[in-house]
């Protein structure tokens, strides 16, 4: 029990310590802004009487009553609940999701022990999951990410119940878990649905009860999802789901899995043992039928989750994070069953928990291969040998500031209540941290008249409304004389520096400073 407690203490530190250190970046702030409107109106309205919350455009994001319909509302309602209980702040915005991350660790402990009846496998799975950089960074966000990870573990729990013949428990757990994923982000659910459907047909002849119960579970999910499908006109939004190159993106996600979840070298260990049987003393305990089927199902989840993640409009690792707990079950299972030398197994666990050395040096054995892969997938150039856990701890305990904080402080100190600020991007973060009226070019009716202030360079928004052709970082000549520039000094940080993507995340405050012009009407 002490070992489990130690892992949970580590998880609590990594998930909760200084949760409000970084300001909410654009996507997080959108969730928080909608949550504030839920407190006011009971629904996630996109207009609060002062500012419009617009992501892609009013006709896409909202319905005719200015209610947000681009994505389901579970994360927004949880955030609103946190604000109601603890007040509005950066930390309270992220608290529900950090809690979901913490309970994910507990649930993974319970699942792995129930399936394999082994404290060794359970502890290894929970420990590797806890120190997984990709999991921690996403769980410390005011966004749906931790919810879909928790639901994935819950879903696997339901599948194991079905395999064991526990009909009622299996259907309830599997269906509710998939419903949570749907109402968090329905794109991540599709891989699970197809994998379960195919696995049910695979089991139909040998286990008709599993087939029937799996189909019933999917039926319950469809019934629970139907209200949102109809209300949000999901069929229309499906037109935005496309891929530039499915093969490219699947390979990209597979490459990232190697670095952050399931190193290719570890996956090949069972193959090596089969090729060289003398290296294995065959002393491993034989798996039961439900255990073998459970492992087969986990393996089936991987390609179908990768496939449907590749159909999203953008490619971010957030779409494949449900595969983190899947990987954290498979990795310790491989190690405990196929690596019989205790010292070798311990070395593998240490390397996996502390570094990316196994992933890096086995994928790029020679410089030529690294160059080739980097040419195909530019993101590969970001991967260098490092110690992610050390970086994660250092980042967690180090104060961070950025351009957003500097700009928000200036606006709060200088803009009057009755003045309007024209922005060139979504600026959801500025809406959260200031009490200012912003003029968004995509707002219904557009920008009326000349604003009191103009910020031609975005402070935090990731989607530009007016590109350099229409609004350069200096005012157009026809209105230039009407405005007086105010030059402020800001930290030279990137917008979206707090993204949970390890490849592009800004880990520490930039020591460099730069200037930014904000224009006030004369």
Q: Across the chain, what does the average pLDDT equal? A: 88
Q: Is residue 152 located within the same domain as residue 240?
A: yes
pLDDT tens for residues 372-396? Answer: 444 555 555 567 888 999 999 999 9
DSSP string covering 32-47, please? HHHHHHHHHHSS-BSB
Of 363, 393, 423, which residue constitutes the final position of a domain? 393
Residue 425 resides in a domain: yes
Q: Is residue 384 located within the same domain as residue 474?
A: no
Cross-strand partners of 49: none
The mean pLDDT value for 21-29 works out to: 94
Residue 35 resides in a domain: no
The mean pLDDT value for 261-288 works out to: 76
Residue 34 resides in a domain: no
Stretch among 18-22, 51-55, 233-237, 500-504 having the lowest mean pLDDT: 233-237
In the structure, how many helices (H) and strands (E) does the chain have?
24, 5
Q: Which domain holds residue 94?
A: 2-20+89-393
CB 484 within 8 A of CB 519: yes
The C-alpha atoms of residue 252 and residue 371 are separated, in whole angstroms, by 15
Q: In which band, very low, low, confident or very high, does the pLDDT at 465 lie, cut at 50, 70 and 90? A: low
Token reading at 511: 């020591």
Q: Which helix (H) or strand (E) holds 361?
A: helix 357-363
Residue 32 resides in a domain: no
What are the angstrom distances between the C-alpha of 445 and each of 56, 102, 504? 16, 45, 36
CB 151 within 8 A of CB 184: yes
CB 404 within 8 A of CB 462: no
CB 259 within 8 A of CB 356: yes
Residue 479 has a pLDDT of 80
Q: Which of 69, 29, 84 is nearest to 431 (CA)?
A: 29
The C-alpha atoms of residue 500 and residue 490 are separated, in whole angstroms, by 23
Give how many domains the chain has, as a whole number: 2
Q: Is residue 346 located within the same domain as residue 412?
A: no
Look at residue 475 and give its three-state secondary structure: coil
Q: Is residue 322 located within the same domain as residue 377?
A: yes
Q: Is residue 167 located within the same domain as residue 301?
A: yes
pLDDT tens for residues 194-227? Answer: 999 999 999 998 999 999 999 999 999 999 999 9
Q: Is residue 287 located within the same domain as residue 183?
A: yes
């Amino acid at each position: 029990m002490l070992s489990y407690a130690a892992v949970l203490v580590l998880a609590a530190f990594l998930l909760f310590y200084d949760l409000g250190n970084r300001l909410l970046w654009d996507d997080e702030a959108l969730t928080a802004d909608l949550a504030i409107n839920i407190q006011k109106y009971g629904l996630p309205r996109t207009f609060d009487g002062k500012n419009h919350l617009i992501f892609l455009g009013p006709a896409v994001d909202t319905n005719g009553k200015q209610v947000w319909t681009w994505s389901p509302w579970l994360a927004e309602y949880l955030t609103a609940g946190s604000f109601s209980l603890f007040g509005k702040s950066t930390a309270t915005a992220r608290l529900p999701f950090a809690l979901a991350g913490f309970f994910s660790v507990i649930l993974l402990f319970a699942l792995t022990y129930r399936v394999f009846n082994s404290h060794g496998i359970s502890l290894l799975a929970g420990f590797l999951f806890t120190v997984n950089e990709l999991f921690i960074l996403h769980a410390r966000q005011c966004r749906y990410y931790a919810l879909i990870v928790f639901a994935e573990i819950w879903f696997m729990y339901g599948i194991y119940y079905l395999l064991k013949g526990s009909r009622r428990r299996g259907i309830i757990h599997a269906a509710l878990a998939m419903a949570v994923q749907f109402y968090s982000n329905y794109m991540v659910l599709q891989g699970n649905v197809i994998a379960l459907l195919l696995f049910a047909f695979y089991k139909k002849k040998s286990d008709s009860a599993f087939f029937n119960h799996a189909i019933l579970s999917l039926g319950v999910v469809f019934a629970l999802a139907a209200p949102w499908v109809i209300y949000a006109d999901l069929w229309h939004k499906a037109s935005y789901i496309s891929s530039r190159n499915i093969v490219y993106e699947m390979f990209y996600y597979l490459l990232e899995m190697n670095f952050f979840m399931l190193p290719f070298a570890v996956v090949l260990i069972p193959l090596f043992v089969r090729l060289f049987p003398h290296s294995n003393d065959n002393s491993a305990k034989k798996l039961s039928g439900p255990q073998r089927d459970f492992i087969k199902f986990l393996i089936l989840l991987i390609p179908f989750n990768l496939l449907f993640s590749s159909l999203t409009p953008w490619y971010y690792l957030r779409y494949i994070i449900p595969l983190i707990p899947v990987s954290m079950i498979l990795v310790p299972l491989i190690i405990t069953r196929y690596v019989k030398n205790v010292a070798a197994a311990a070395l593998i666990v240490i390397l996996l928990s502390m570094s990316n050395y196994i992933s890096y040096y086995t994928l790029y054995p020679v410089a030529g291969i690294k160059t080739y892969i980097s040419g195909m997938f530019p993101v590969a150039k970001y991967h260098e040998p490092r110690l992610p856990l050390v970086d994660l701890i250092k980042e967690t305990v180090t104060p961070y500031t950025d351009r957003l904080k500097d700009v928000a402080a200036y606006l709060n100190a200088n803009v009057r209540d009755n003045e309007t600020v024209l922005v060139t991007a979504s600026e959801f973060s500025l809406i959260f941290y200031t009490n200012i009226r912003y003029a968004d070019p995509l707002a219904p009716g557009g920008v009326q008249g000349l604003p009191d202030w103009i910020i031609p360079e975005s402070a935090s928004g990731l989607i530009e409304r007016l590109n350099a052709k229409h609004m350069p970082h200096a005012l157009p000549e026809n209105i230039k004389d009407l405005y007086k520039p105010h030059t402020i000094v800001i930290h030279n940080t990137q917008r979206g520096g707090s993204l949970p993507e390890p490849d592009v995340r800004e880990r520490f405050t930039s020591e460099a400073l730069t200037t930014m012009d904000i224009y006030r009407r004369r």
